[in-house]
A and B are shown apart, each in its own frame.
Chain A
């Protein structure tokens, strides 16, 4: 009885982000997908905390390494937990995601860029001497 309700409500050829119905035949779907995702996410998180907390690595390289690890982990979450795939039925979701990423990048890096310029422009001679030291 319960299986019949699923047949009624689910179109097996089309998939929305985050659902199990379609993707359980793919590597990113089903219990196996969640286990792989958890393993990779835990690994990347552990790497992030290790890199940030240790004195072993060359200091100036750490911010870049942390950003790369964070982006990688976000990718793992998108693929294994949110089930964003490259399939034709996910084109709309991927395009929306790409637009979202564009706006996020514009807002964050645009703000940083503009504010650092304003800081330079608004400097008093005293500040200038201060930064040159």
Chain B
């Protein structure tokens, strides 16, 4: 289906449909592809995706500051509990399973969106949200347990950095869940409109990027902290 539209024949029909009101070169001869100079400026969808990608990278740079602070302060336990005493690897493993599964179902939702299947899209988005919520609940319980044991963020520089880093990721997941609910409602009311499709694309990027950050997080904080 998507290969058929790349044929020259359909390109012509597209040109006819859109015309070239601003003389940007789309109706000219030669390479009709956008974003490479010849074909005129890139479509809005490309620019939105690229802009959101830049935002995600800046968000990852924000996380790198928290990672750096954690790495510097990991030994400063002030006589308090160390990561080795606090972290439980099987628990973190289950958190990872939830987040990885939600990343996968988010991808399934994007496939269903691509095929314009409303029920399937909503269903996979719902599963994504439930898995993400499960992750957030597990993290909340872990935090509560640690604070109840006297290992709250005020105990040592190590724990301050830990709660800042892991809490910042959890905060992002929470924001993602709010966004997910909004997108499900918008999709239900407005259908597969171009603007909604762009927002779904951005949400997909956001959710997958959170999983990438979690990979760095469970490796540096939990595995290196508990195993060694």
CB-CB under 8 A from A14, the residues of chain B are 33-35, 42-43, 46
Known: A9-B45, A42-B100. A22 touches B2 (CB 8 A): yes
Asked if B116 and A10 sit within 8 Å, CB to CB, the answer is: no
Would you call B219 an interface residue if the criterion is a C-beta within 8 Å of the partner chain's C-beta atoms?
yes
Within 8 A of B (CB), among A52-85: 52-53, 59, 62-63, 66-67, 69-70, 73-74, 77-78, 81-82
Assess whether B176 is interfacial by the CB under 8 Å rule. Answer: no
Contact residue among B64, B110, B197 (Cβ-Cβ distance under 8 Å from A108): B64
Given contacts A70-B215, A103-B64, contact A111 B71 (CB under 8 A): yes
Taking the nearest CB of chain B, how far is it from the CB of A97, in angstroms? 7
Which residue numbers of A lie inside 8 Å of B, CB to CB? 2-3, 5-22, 24-25, 30-31, 34, 37-38, 41-42, 45, 48-49, 51-53, 59, 62-63, 66-67, 69-70, 73-74, 77-78, 81-82, 88-89, 92-93, 96-97, 99-100, 103-104, 107-108, 110-112, 115
> Do A48 and B223 have beta carbons less than 8 Å apart?
yes
A2 x B68 contact (CB < 8 A): no
Check B50–A66 contact: CB distance below 8 A.
no
**A13-B6, A34-B104, A70-B216 provided; 8 other pairs, C-beta below 8 A?**
A7-B5, A13-B32, A19-B49, A41-B103, A77-B211, A81-B103, A89-B46, A115-B72
A17: which of B3, B53, B58, B218 is its contact (CB, 8 Å)? B53
* Segment at the A interface, from B134-142, B143-151, B180-188, B201-209: B201-209
B33–A13 CB distance below 8 A? yes
Counted as pairs of residues, one from A and one from B, with CB atoms less than 8 Å apart, the total is 186
Query: Is the Cβ of B111 less than 8 Å from the Cβ of A9?
Result: no
Chain B residues, Cβ within 8 Å of A15: 46
Could you pull out 11 A-B pairs where Cβ atoms are within 8 angstroms? A5-B192, A7-B5, A8-B194, A16-B49, A18-B205, A20-B113, A51-B227, A52-B227, A69-B219, A74-B215, A103-B61
B189 interface hit (Cβ, 8 Å): no
Known A-B contacts A16-B49, A18-B205, A73-B215; A53 and B227 likewise in contact (beta carbons under 8 Å): yes
Contact size range, B = 35 or more
- Cβ B33 vs Cβ A82 within 8 A: no
**B57 with A96: CB separation less than 8 A:** yes
- The answer to whether the Cβ of B107 comes within 8 Å of any Cβ in the partner chain is yes
- A53-B89, A62-B227, A70-B219 known; A11-B34 Cβ under 8 A: yes
Q: For the complex, give the distance between the alpha carbons of A15 and B110 in Å.
A: 14
B82 to chain A, nearest CB (A): 15
Contact B224 A66 (CB under 8 A): yes
